[in-house]
Chain A
Amino acid sequence: MIRRLVLALDDRLGAVPFLRHALRKAFPDHWSFMLGEVALYCFLFILASGTYLTFFFHPSAHHVVYDGTSVPSLHGRTMSDAYASVLRISFETRAGLLIRQAHHWCALVFAAAIIVHMSRVFFTGAFRKPRDLNWTVGLTLLLLVMGDGFTGYSLPDDQLSGAGLRIADSIALAIPVVGSWVAYLFFGGGFPSPEITNRLYAIHILFIPLALGALIALHLAILWRQKHTQFPGRGKREDNVTGSPLWPTYTVKSLALMAATFGGLLLLGGLVEINPVWLYGPYDPWTIASPAQPDWYVGWLDGALRVAPPWAMHLFGHTISALLWPGIVLPLFFFGALYAWPWVERFVTRDRAYHELLQLPWQNPLRTSFGVAALTFAGMLLLAGSDDIQARLWHVSVQQLAWFYRVGVLVFPPVAAAIAWRICVELQSRHAYEEDHPARVVLKRGGEGGFEEEPVPTP
């Protein structure tokens, strides 16, 4: 069977040379190289679960009166068809709630996996030439995932999604000169336009998934062409890659990871409640619940909105909204810096060579401190985005806590960077010392029957 298939394909496509090469392609099996695969499997899962949900979801702002019995406190309530269909998915479609929850969990894990994967790539210098190209593809994937997450969060037309959209609309309005046109064209009029659910749906299930699929294919094709990087070690050189062969060893490992990822998502989907929209209620634009937060991958933006200073400017009879800084300028700068980093590093270090061997974080203090600062910055913003929940826990004033984060967002990143720098330099000098003063020696039988000490050569 397999034999015939292979031969038939080779007859028609000349597939055998590729296959021979592909089957024994080396995949480094350091565990951290699998983080990207988790993200990949999240994509598969989210695509499959999402497709199932599209069969039942109605992307419509059309008003219906809820006559179901699953949520007694909503009986007789006027709501959008979109919200009502989510209630039906959750309560009347068998396994619907499981799939819906696993789908949402998958979005959260997906973004987290991408960020951890990117951190690995960043801190080990895997993005250096020739992989700077794939770094930009990966970063774009992260942005697309966040966009798909936010549009998905906005679809059920519950209280939280409505509040999130209102804020998104306000950020669009803050764009200088054309903001109101952008907002009106994107949302189909003033807020809340009945068009919006439908549009978000097209973006959520068509545009972004297509772009994701295409870019993931590109990401993998580039990876295939450029091959993997590897950590330095015995027998590992700039001009080779060592690892398990794709077939059979790595395939088995990777499938294990896929099955485990799916299992984990289903376990979360079954056991841990996520986005219980029936508790939040349908969106009425004049009501709001507290606390109101977005999903975590947008939380840093919400945090930025909370701690940003109220700097509106009035110029020549026009207004520059205070939302411009945290809502638009800051994300542009942050992601712009991440896009630019491979080239910035090349410019600063004047290192234009190819790099196939990875570095350990301490080997490059500049990069490591920049990365630590960026993560600290985003982390502080993310924390600031839940300051009201923290204030409630610790029973402090949320206003004071907001001030803490206002200062902390500016102070902690450079402090963390300085600490990281110090640690790197410390480790560097320790390694340098150990290399100068080898701790171990091998004894070699000398010519005249005696022994000679000889350091073990470092690879």
Chain B
Amino acid sequence: MIALLAAAVLTLASETSAGQPKPPLAHATVPARGDAIKVGGDLYALHCLACHGDKLQGTPQAPGLMNSGAASVDFQLSTGRMPLEVPGTEPMRGPPSFPRDQIDAIIAYVVSHGAKGPDKPAVHSNGDLTRGRKLYEENCEACHGATATGAVAGFGWLAPALLQSTPLQTAEAVRTGPGIMPKFDERVLPQADLDALAAYVDSLHHPDDRGGYSLASAGPVGEGLVAWIAGLGITVVLMFAVGETLKAKPRG
């Protein structure tokens, strides 16, 4: 049991670092702005069309993109969630498959084909941390955890860790509600609140671990494990040092 939990904590510790690198897809060059839509269209046809349909209408495999604006497409592509290797699974963060200019090209293509969802949100860097924390505690930590290390969201879904999320990506997720996440538009969360939230999430990238090693922020579970292994371990070693062990019974 202890070994099991130890393995768990080790995995947890390594999990917070970056995911596996994905091989970059073919790099098309994007020469001029006017061609962006065309290049985006080519990329779309190659990587997205099979699931999202030729008119962004969606297929049984994947939802349509008619309600996905620039924010949504940018979030999905810049966090490496799309393109999805196995359709129907939960998209997970990873290195993006496309360079910045290609992502912009795909956005341009999708938007030019009538997708109307939130545009890329503005985020200002002067967000109020106290306000952001309050909002985070009310709206975010039930899924992503108090330290933004992620947690289960039920029935196999994960609320991802936010430790690599840039303020822009945080804002995009808040505005568009990817996956099973609810969305918070500017009526619920005005710009100042969005800035505050993004600033607070950003501050969680470097949590104040003045107490020492943070045990992957696994809370009391990790702490219990350490208490058993390290705390009791140290003393048991010493008990061996000063105590005797059972001498082999002299046999007849």
Query: Is A–B contact present in the complex under a CB 8 A cutoff?
Result: yes
> What class of interface size applies to chain B in its complex with A?
35 or more
Is A391 an interface residue, CB under 8 A from the partner?
Answer: yes
- List chain A residues, Cβ under 8 A from B249: 232-233, 458-459
Using Cβ atoms and an 8 Å threshold, which residues of chain B touch A274? 211, 223
Closest residue to A271 on the B side, CB-wise?
B212
Do the beta carbons of A101 and B150 come within 8 Å of each other?
no
Minimum Cβ distance to chain A for residue B13 (Å): 11
CB nearest to B235 among chain A residues: A38
A287-310 CB contacts (< 8 Å) to partner B: 287-297, 299
Does B59 have its Cβ within 8 Å of any Cβ on chain A? Answer: no
A196 within 8 A of B: no
User: Taking the complex as formed, is A112 at the interface, i.e. its CB lies under 8 A from any CB of chain B?
Assistant: yes
Contact A253–B242 (Cβ < 8 Å): yes
* Most chain A CB within a 10 A radius of its CB, from B11, B142, B209, B235: B235
Given the contacts A393-B12, A398-B154, A233 and B247 also touching, CB distance less than 8 Å = yes
A272 close to B (CB within 8 Å): yes
- Are B145 and A290 in contact, CB atoms less than 8 angstroms apart? yes
| Nearest CB of A to B148, in Å | 10
- A287 vs B135: C-alpha distance in the bound complex, in angstroms? 10
Segment at the interface with A among B102-110, B126-134, B162-170, B184-192: B126-134
A450 lies within 8 A of chain B by Cβ: no
- Give which listed residue, A160, A253, A434, contacts B243 with CB less than 8 A: A253
Chain B residues with CB below 8 A from A393, complex form = 8, 11-12, 15
Is the CB of A389 closer than 8 A to any CB of chain B? Answer: yes
Instruction: Tell me if A273 and B209 are in contact (CB < 8 A).
Output: yes
Most chain-B CB neighbours within 10 Å: which of A231, A279, A398?
A279
Q: Counting CB contacts under 8 A, is B138 at the interface? A: yes
Q: Name the residue on A nearest B158 (C-beta).
A: A392
Contact A290 B246 (CB under 8 A): no
Interface segment among A11-19, A254-262, A343-351: the answer is A254-262
Q: Per-position contact with B for A266-284: 1 when CB-CB < 8 Å, else 0?
A: 0110111111101111001
Q: Is B235 in contact with A290, judged by CB distance below 8 angstroms?
A: no
Task: Please name the residue on chain B nearest to A441 by beta carbon.
Answer: B252
Closest CB-CB distance, B44 to chain A, in whole Å? Answer: 29
Q: Shortest Cβ distance from A86 into chain B, in angstroms?
A: 12
Complex Cα distance, B244 from A31, in Å, reads 5
Our pick among B151, B156, B159, B219 for the contact of A396 (Cβ within 8 Å) is B156
On whether the beta carbons of A386 and B130 are closer than 8 Å, the reply is no
Q: State the main secondary structure of chain B at its contact with A.
A: helix
CA distance A377 to B219 in the complex (A): 23
- How many A-B residue pairs have C-beta atoms within 8 angstroms? Tell me: 242
Contact A289 to B145, CB < 8 A, known contacts A97-B211, A264-B235: yes
Complex CA gap A385/B133 in Å reads 27
**Once the chains are docked, how many angstroms separate the CA of A295 from the CA of B218?**
12
A281 touches B137 (CB 8 A): yes
Chain A, residues 227-249, CB within 8 Å of chain B (1/0): the string is 00001111000000000000000
Are A295 and B220 closer than 8 Å at their CB atoms? yes
* C-alpha spacing A250/B203, complex, angstroms: 53
Question: Which of B26-34, B61-69, B224-232 binds A?
Answer: B224-232
Q: Are A108 and B158 in contact (CB under 8 A)?
A: no
In whole angstroms, how far apart are the Cα atoms of A379 and B210 in the complex?
A: 32
Q: Which residues of B contact A398 (CB under 8 A)?
A: 152, 154-155
Within 8 A of B (CB), among A355-369: none
Nearest-CB distance from A453 to chain B (Å)?
Answer: 11
- Return the chain A residue nearest B129 by Cβ: A73
Pick from B152, B209, B223, B225: contact of A275, CB under 8 Å: B223
Which residues from A are CB-within-8-Å of B212? 101, 270-273
Having A264-B235, A284-B138, one finds 8 other A-B pairs with CB under 8 Å, namely: A31-B242, A109-B232, A159-B137, A291-B219, A297-B224, A386-B5, A393-B11, A398-B154
A sample of 22 cross-chain residue pairs with beta-carbon separation below 8 angstroms, ordered by A number, consists of A30-B245, A31-B244, A33-B243, A38-B232, A73-B133, A90-B211, A91-B210, A112-B231, A257-B235, A260-B238, A272-B211, A276-B207, A279-B207, A287-B142, A289-B137, A290-B151, A291-B219, A292-B219, A293-B219, A296-B223, A297-B224, A382-B1
| Chain A interface residues (CB < 8 Å from chain B) | 29-35, 38, 71-77, 90-91, 97, 101, 104-105, 108-109, 112-113, 116, 159-160, 231-234, 253, 256-257, 260-261, 263-265, 267-268, 270-276, 278-281, 284, 286-297, 299, 379, 382-383, 385-386, 388-393, 395-400, 434-435, 438-441, 455-459
Q: Please provide the 5 A-B residue pairs with the shortest distance between their CB atoms, ordered closest to farther.
A: A296-B224, A31-B243, A273-B211, A108-B227, A289-B146
